[in-house]
Chain A
Amino acid sequence: MTDQEILDQLNAEANEAFKALTIYGVNENARKDRPFIIVSDDALPEIPVAMDVSCSIMTVAGAMGTAGPGAAERIDKAAEMGVENRLCSSVKMGAYFLKANILPAPDMVITTNSPCDAVDMLGQMMDNYRPWAKVPRFRLDAPHGQTEEDFEYFGGQLKEMVHAIETATGKKLTMERFREVAEESNRQASLIMDFQELTRAVPCPVDPDMARVGWELARWVAATDPSVFPRATEWLERLVEVTERKVREKKGMDGVDEKIRFLWYDVSPSWGSKLFPRLRKEFGAVCMKTYYSFHGYFPIDTTSLDNMLKSVAKKYLMGTPMTRQAMHTSDVFCEDIVHICRDYKCDAMIMPCHVGHRDTNAYHKMAKDACRENDIPFFFLGCDVWDERFMTADTVFDRIKTFFETTGLV
């Protein structure tokens, strides 16, 4: 197989696996022969995988729904329900799923206030969803701080959450299995770091978005089906292997004459397939990072149960995309921008400022100032990453084109 054929195969496998994250996948997960939990946000997969329970994520199902057939109509129906009109469309979709009563009753509901007001609100809607009135529930309080005390506080809650899952599902968390899963998780995180390092090469050997694909496979899909967890490691190994080879051979992405590297610092849009390939083709402009393709290394300390839970907490609070960007002060966001642009040799920073992200809409000036201080051309967009009707992919393309032209990048 050629390198490109291997990459195509990795993509195809991931796309097939991602079906488990859709509303249809959620219903499939409920039918499997293991306890089924619905969570409002990221599933901290080490815990459900180690406990052999299936976890579906409401906001992810919502986000996947925004790219599916009839998405616009469903988003509009959610708006008509009376929730905030300019609410993030992925959350609107989740709210619609509740209203339309098309979700299976889980064995347990876990909600959290992170990463943003919208997901927090969806969690409260889930907590108070009448058809699930008798379903056991647990709510996590993710702190906004970044101290050891904060990680201990959240880790303590994870311990309580494990007890609650044990009570609700009858499944037990054994230290041996948890450690095994944590070590596998560390291995995956290390592979993602390796991949990221390799993509610093000029020209970029592989679409850097594959870091997102691998991360979502190892975390979100694995949370729905623990058997995916080791397969995700193997998937990442193949990705690193092909990327290493391409770097050695100084090969760039197939069919891309790389001229510009830019940072799109927000979620990758559901309509991204209409934008990013076109930017690559017409300007040789490669998107080097988005929220979900940028990862730090937060290994899990496997020396004791408390240390494992505390480090899972730290990994969640500091390393989970969206939580990292939306839960902390703007310093984290601004420092990340500068580091990414420097480390990945980005020529420009595009701030999509998703309409539903109250956080980025509140600190775009600080991001702009940070870029200006570091001579990074900055472009503020203002779009809806889940609903192209707000600003079409063509309009976004035209605006970015003008930005590239005025900054002399093309």
Chain B
Amino acid sequence: MDANNRSRVLEKFKSYSASIPNPSIDQFKSKGGKVMGYFCSFIPEELFIAAGFLPFRIRGTGSLGTERADEYFTSSNCSFPRHCFNQALSGKYDFLDGLIVGTSCDTTRYIYDNWKKSQVKTPFAYLLGFPHVSGEVMAGYYRKELAKLKTALEENFGAAITDDALRASVRLCNETRSLQQKIYDMRKSDNPAVTGSEMVSIMVAGISMPKEEYNRDIKELMSDLETTPSADKAYSARLMIVGSCGDDTVLSRIAEDQGAMVVTDHTCFGGKLKYGAVDETVSDPLEALAHYHVLTRPFCAKVGGAYPLRAKVIIETAKEFNVDGILGQRLGCCDTWGGELYILKDDLRDAGIPSLMIEREYIPDTEGQLATRIQAFIETVRR
């Protein structure tokens, strides 16, 4: 097998992550299945899977502009939601049977209002309250919010979401996290099994197709990676990407084009998704999900009081993966990550981890400038 094309699965994942529609969605829908779109990683896919839906995480993939969305948002709004919404207005999300938006950042939150009132005809739209503080009381609040969402789904779709079905979906998604973690672990070696760009594809595919199929595929991929030597690619520095979004390969591609290797990340579409596991022993699965997202994995930078945990996980991950430096990325007009990266920079410096904080747009109009900055950073941290 060609070392650059080691797996059929990897090609499938690349294809799925590079477009919004994919054959697995078509197949699911052709059997009468319903697809539930959602924003943000704290919205538990388990709930949708238990209802028999296919969860699909909204992204801006393939967008070339925001012409349609500009009627609704201004350039003072972050470009990620604008591109996502532009895709919706362009009909790319017409396959959705429902949409769940969480109360995360201000711009994303108002996608809910705009989506509902625009010409996008998604039959069901729901705004899910999510706490912005990590704590027991807040986990209790989120459990109630999830229960309300569950009722709304049951009433609107006639779907019974039983505790047994929820437990089964928790097990399924835990298996996904565990498999993804194993792929990440394979990147700790001096000769990482996959590149950073490939890893983005692997993770994005995971939120774009049925989990059972994904888990089967990822096992096949792991088998391929274990039996087929990787390209033994020489690289000048091991990097980690930290920041918002991350549904595209822009930053990892630029860094890897400059001779570095992105070996791990802490992004909303990447490494944050596979962190730990939802407790399968708790009798109330909704409580287990709420605890996981509010107490175990409060990785949204909007969650106050949890910064020390986020910083600890980032620094420990950087050390585990033996990274030479961290690329912090945020999109323009993102107040949340502007503050998070500002605070993080000092903690990284204290931990002896060099960092470069980058502001970019969803579709960078200055890729050359980004490349120059990243190249200069790599020069300062190269091995």
Q: Report the stretch among A149-157, A187-195, A250-258, A277-285 that lies at the interface.
A: A149-157
A121 close to B335 (CB less than 8 A) = yes
User: Is there contact, CB below 8 Å, between B137 and A128?
Assistant: no
Contacts of B103 in A (CB 8 A): 143-144
Residue B106 CB within 8 A of the other chain: yes
Distance from A128 Cβ to chain B, minimum over Cβ atoms (Å): 5
A84 adjacent to B77 (CB under 8 Å): no
Tell which of A294-302, A337-345, A351-359, A399-407 binds the partner: A351-359
Does A125 contact B110, Cβ atoms closer than 8 Å? no
A125-159 Cβ-contact flags toward B at 8 Å (1 or 0): 10110100000000111111100011001001100
Q: Mark B132-155, 1 if CB is under 8 A from A, else 0.
A: 110101100100100000000000
B110 touches A362 (CB 8 A): yes
Give the distance to chain A from B171, nearest Cβ to Cβ, in Å.
30
Known A139-B304, A143-B141, A364-B74; contact A359-B110, beta-carbon cutoff 8 A: yes
For the complex, is A366 an interface residue (Cβ under 8 Å from B)?
yes
A331–B304 Cα distance when bound, in Å, is 27
CA distance A171 to B132 in the complex (A): 28
A123 to B304 alpha-carbon distance, docked (Å): 8
B307 touches A118 (CB 8 A): no
A358 and B133 contact, CB distance less than 8 A: no
Question: Which of the four size classes fits the interface of chain A?
Answer: 35 or more
> Which residue of chain B has its CB nearest to the CB of A115?
B106
Check A358 against B127 for contact (C-beta < 8 Å).
Answer: no
A125–B343 touching, CB < 8 Å: yes
Q: Does chain A have a CB within 8 A of B341?
A: yes
Choice from B73, B107, B302 contacting A120 with Cβ under 8 Å: B302
Residue A111 at the B interface, CB < 8 A?
yes
Instruction: Quote the shortest CB–CB distance from A334 to chain B (angstroms).
Output: 9
Query: CA A264 – CA B206 in complex, angstroms?
Result: 47
Q: Render A161-176 as a binary contact track against B, CB cut-off 8 A, 1 for contact.
A: 0000000000000000
Q: Is B129 an interface residue (CB 8 A)?
A: yes
Which B77-107 residues have C-beta < 8 A from chain A?
77-78, 103, 105-107
Residue A308 CB within 8 A of the other chain = no
Docked-complex contact B114 and A145, CB < 8 angstroms: no
B113 at the interface (CB under 8 A from A): yes
Q: Is the CB of B138 within 8 A of A141?
A: yes
Separation in Å of the A379 CB from the closest CB of chain B?
Answer: 15
The answer for the CA separation of A330 and B30 in the assembled complex, in Å, is 36
Chain A residues positioned under 8 Å from B330 (CB to CB): 84
Contact of A4 with B by CB under 8 A: no
Evaluate contact between B129 and A145: CB separation under 8 angstroms.
yes
8 Å CB contacts to B: which residues of A103-133?
111, 113, 116-118, 120-125, 127-128, 130
A377 at the interface (CB under 8 A from B): no
Given that A117-B336, A125-B339 are contacting pairs, would A156 and B137 also be in contact in the complex, using a CB cutoff of 8 Å? yes
Closest residue of A by beta carbon distance from B105:
A117
Please state if B71 and A117 are interface contacts (CB–CB under 8 Å).
no
Query: Digit string of B63-78 for contact with A (CB within 8 Å is 1, else 0)?
Result: 0000000011110111
Contact B74 A124 (CB under 8 A): no
- B357 in contact with A365 (CB, 8 Å): no
Distance between B377 CB and nearest chain A CB, rounded to angstroms: 15
Q: Which residues of A contact B349 (CB under 8 A)?
A: none
Asked if residues A361 and B302 are in contact (CB atoms below 8 Å), the reply is: no
- Let me know if B129 and A83 touch, CB within 8 A: no
Q: Is A326 an interface residue (CB 8 A)?
A: yes
Report whether B110 and A355 are in contact in the complex, using a CB–CB cutoff of 8 Å: no
Residue contact A366 to B113, C-beta cutoff 8 Å: yes
Residue of A111, A359, A361, A366 contacting most chain B CB atoms (<10 Å): A361
Tell whether A307 is near chain B: CB-to-CB under 8 Å.
Answer: no
Report if A70 contacts B (CB, 8 A): no
Contact with A along B100-128 (1 / 0, CB 8 A): 00010111011111100100000000010
Q: CB < 8 Å: which of A124, A140, A330, A358 contacts B340?
A: A124
Q: Which of B78, B301, B335 contacts A118 (CB 8 A)?
A: B335
- CB nearest neighbor in B for A86: B333
CB-nearest residue of chain A to B307? A128
Interface residues of B in 6-32 (CB under 8 A from A): none
In the bound complex, how far is the Cα of B131 from the Cα of A140, in angstroms?
10
Q: In the complex, A84 Cα to B74 Cα: how many Å?
A: 16
Q: Are A157 and B137 closer than 8 Å at their CB atoms?
A: yes
A82 at interface by CB-CB < 8 Å: yes
Q: Does B345 contact A (CB under 8 A)?
A: yes
Query: For residue B157, which residues in chain A have a CB less than 8 angstroms away from its CB?
Result: none
- The 0/1 profile, CB within 8 Å of A marked 1, for residues 51-72 of chain B is 0000000000000000000011
Q: Collect the chain B residues with CB atoms within 8 Å of residue A95's CB.
A: 342
Q: Tell me whether B338 is interfacial, beta carbon within 8 Å.
A: yes
B44 within 8 A of A: no
Q: Which residues of B contact A382 (CB under 8 A)?
A: 74, 76
- CB under 8 Å from chain B, chain A span 206-263: none
User: Contact partner of B336 among A120, A145, A150, A365, CB < 8 A?
Assistant: A120
The 6 closest A-B pairs by CB, nearest first: A84-B338, A121-B339, A362-B110, A113-B132, A358-B106, A141-B133
8 A–B contacts from the bound complex (CB under 8 Å): A82-B342, A85-B332, A116-B335, A330-B110, A358-B77, A362-B77, A362-B106, A382-B74
